[in-house]
Each structure stands twice: as structure tokens, then as C-alpha cells.
Copies of this chain bind each other. A is one copy, B any other.
Amino acid sequence: MSILVVGSIALDTVKTPYGLSKDILGGSATYFSISASFFSPVKLVAIVGTDFPSKYIKIFKKRKIDLKGLTIKEGKTFRWQAEYSDDLNKVTTISTQLNVFSDFRPKILDEYKKAKFVFLANIDPKLQDYILSQVKSPQLVAADTMSHWIKEDTKDLINFLKKVDIFFLNDTEARLLTGENNLLKAAKSILKFGPKRIIIKKGEHGSMMVSNDSIFCLPSFLLEKVYDPTGAGDTFAGGLMGYLAMKRKINEEILRKALAYGTVMATFVIEDFSLKKLLKITRYDIKNRLKEFCNLVKFDYDRL
């Protein structure tokens, strides 16, 4: 089953203790779609400027991502510049230039309107809502958000959440949205807004998934070398959603495995700048790392 993803494509300039990378391929929809493409076909709806390098277009094409929904508009591509702290735990945005992205209000192509799996990356919740209204009968709607929308557009975000099956956010965002420090309480508060499941991304501390009748926690896969955490959350969501769309069926067991796949995909992306590492791996590498991950978290439940 294919996934429709709507979000940003950006040119990032990122500084980490390991170096500075200029105008590298970034954006939520980028990380999501490359990651998901290892599991399921991806239809990408996004916008770039005429300055967008053709070598980056080739990257999407190489991963067989459907680009009929990609608008190339006269002007400059969305740009994000940021710097990470020495321990990589803090990121400071130096500049955000929306450029052509500021007019992004996509009409979904007819052939995309039948999409069953939809991922709305961390864009304006009004835009998420507008896009979703064009999709005919989705089976699974997932959405992400960011602190900016929680602060500036809480009402629209909360309204939109009613239509969401899986709502992704990170620990800081969950606390910000609810005023609850305890993440389990925060997740349960968010469930009251209407989404069926909450997935809270906790970075090096793993992730948790909460619905009205289940809770699941997963540690992260510990790496000794982390070069650039940019895109980890979207890569996680991409792996997770890609696996779900591949399975077609959604149940607790499949969702739990999907979280494990998402975790594993995120480990690849942080091992190098931008998508460098992610573009080198194969399904064989994913399977292998998943086995390693299982070994890292497994204990014998059945003979306690």
C-alpha cells in the first residue's frame, strides 16, 4: 500500500561538533519519505524553488518516490540553519527562510486522493486539515507537529487532532501541549483531544505509544557515534508508517513492531549528516540492525 506524505523539503545548513554541512537535503517530508520508501511506495506532496539542485531530485527518484505532487516554483527553496550543542542534545535555530514554502497550499492530485495511508508532517495544522479534507477515505491518518504550532495555533491543532489516528510528537512538545510533566499523563490528556494513538518520541530515551487501552515503551538503540540528529523523528515516523502500509493491517502487535522498525531507521540517519547513511543502506542492513535491536531489548518474558 502506498503512503501519501505532505510536508517540507528544505536545504539545511547544519553545524555539529563533527563539522558544518551547507545546503544539504533536509525537511520533514524528505526524511519521512526516504525512510518509508524502504517499506512501501511513497507519494510526495511538497514544494521547492527553482534553485533546488537536480542531484537532490535524483535522490528521490532513485528511491522510486512518486514526485507528481512536487511543485517546483519560481524562487528559493525553504532553508533552515541550525547549530547543535557539543553533546548534540540541544539545537539552536539560527535562521528559517520559508521562501516558496510560505505559499504552500497544495491541491491534492486526483490520483492521490484515494490514498489510504496519509502522513501530515509538522506543518500548520490548518494546512494539515485542508490537505486531509481532500483525501477521500483514508484508512490511517498520522500527523506530526512542532512547538511553534502548539504555541501559536493551539486551537486549530486541537481541532485537527480529532481526525488523526496516530499523533506523533516529542516529549518537550507533549509537555508543552498539556502542561503535564509526567509523560503518561500528558499522553492521556492528548488522547482526550481525539487522536486514537499518541506516539511520543524521546530521542536517546526511546519512544512510547499510548492508546485508550494500551501502553507500549521502547528504549532507543544506543549508538556510540552520533553525527547529526537532524531528521531522526521524521525518519522514525517514516519507518513506522512504511512498515504499517506494507502490512496494510493495523493492530497492536503490528504497531509495536512498527515502532521497532522506526527506531532502527532513525539509528541510520543520525550516523551521518543529512541522508548520507540512509541512502547507503539496504533492506538487509535494516533486518540486521533490527535483530541487533531485538537482542538489546529482549528478555525472556515467558519464563518469569
Chain A residues near B (Cβ < 8 Å)? 86-87, 89, 181-185, 188, 202, 204-206, 208, 215-220, 222-224, 226, 253, 256-257, 259-260, 287, 290-291, 294, 296-301, 304
Contact = CB atoms under 8 A, between A and B. Distances in A.
Contacts of A208: 219, 222
B218 A219 contact: yes
List the 9 shortest-distance A-B pairs measured between CB atoms, nearest first.
A217-B219, A256-B299, A87-B181, A205-B205, A184-B222, A294-B301, A185-B224, A184-B224, A298-B301
Copies in the complex: 2
Instruction: Name A's interface SS.
Output: mixed
Nearest to A88: B181
A217 B222 contact: yes
Nearest to A86: B181
Contacts of A296: 215-217
5 contacts: A87-B182, A89-B181, A184-B222, A287-B304, A298-B301
Nearest to A294: B301
A254 B296 CA distance: 15
A219 B205 CA distance: 8
A287 B304 CA distance: 9
Given A205-B205, A257-B304, A260-B304, A218 B297 contact: yes
